[in-house]
Amino acid sequence: MADKTQEIPTQKNNKNYRPNVAAIVLSAKYPLKCEIFIASRTDVENAWQFPQGGIDEGETVKEALFRELEEEIGTNEVEVIAEYPQWVSYDFPPAIAEKMKPYDGQIQKYYLVKLKQGAKVNINTHHTPEFSEFKFVPTGNIYDYITFFKRTVYKQVLKYFKNEGYI
């Protein structure tokens, strides 16, 4: 697992990527029922996604994971089930890239986590909520919601966790 000495990649194909951590959050009903948390962004219309966020300087990837979950969904009461073995990246579409300069996209480390029994999701705990609504959906319905520019990465990561027998 990550430690303070782990190198976090920021360059790929002559592009500058923002270091990021992402969580695929399973409901507390897992493994009896496999439902995945998705949420609708407040700043991009009809853009559903997994919780994610930047990794701060001096912070480990796992520290960023727990901090981002607390900030975005109001709890970090999760059990880490698995970690995606590589970093994955995506480019921002032009409208978002303009706002995110100097970054061309994000490079992410993904974790599959399960909410602990009794953990409460609250997307309105942060001073500026990132999400306007959330839901838990079966894995087969995830692409009915996910924003277009993240689908390739989501398919890659979800396929891995499925092939490994986690979902």
**Is 6 among the domain residues?**
no
Mean pLDDT of 143-159: 93
**Is 53 among the domain residues?**
yes
Sign of CA dihedral 27, 126, 86, 107: positive
Contact by Cβ (8 Å): 23, 113: yes
Tally of domains in the chain: 1
Polymer length in residues for the chain: 167
Mean pLDDT of 6-26: 88
Mean pLDDT of 2-12: 65
- Using CA atoms, how far apart are residues 8 and 41, in angstroms rounded to an integer? 26
Residue 12's pLDDT band (cuts 50, 70, 90):
confident
Helices then strands, counting H and E runs in the chain, come out as: 3, 9
Question: Which residue has better confidence, 46 or 153?
Answer: 153
Closest by CA to 80, choosing from 95, 103, 63, is 63
pLDDT of 69-97, one tens digit each? 999 999 999 999 999 999 999 999 988 88
The structure tokens listed for 43 are: 């700043």
* Cβ burial, residue 108 (10 Å; 0-12/13-18/19+): buried
pLDDT at 128 > cutoff 60: yes
Question: Which residue has better confidence, 133 or 97?
Answer: 133
Question: Which residue has better confidence, 16 or 45?
Answer: 16
What pLDDT is recorded for position 1? 42
pLDDT at 116 > cutoff 80: yes
Mean pLDDT of 55-76: 95
**Domain extent at residue 96:** 12-163
**Is 2 among the domain residues?**
no
Q: Is the pTM of this model over 0.85?
A: yes
Question: Which residue has better confidence, 94 or 114?
Answer: 114
Residue 117's pLDDT band (cuts 50, 70, 90):
very high
- Using CA atoms, how far apart are residues 48 and 150, in angstroms rounded to an integer? 10
pLDDT at 5 > cutoff 60: no
What are the CA-CA distances from residue 134 to residues 35, 82, 145 (Å)?
12, 23, 11
Contact by Cβ (8 Å): 64, 54: yes
What pLDDT is recorded for position 21? 98
Contact by Cβ (8 Å): 20, 108: yes
What CATH number is attached to the domain comprising 47?
A: 3.90.79.10
What are the CA-CA distances from residue 126 to residues 70, 74, 75, 118 (Å)?
9, 8, 11, 20
One-character DSSP codes across 123-143: TT-SSS-SEEEEEEEEGGGGG
**Is 4 among the domain residues?**
no
Question: Which residue has better confidence, 27 or 3?
Answer: 27
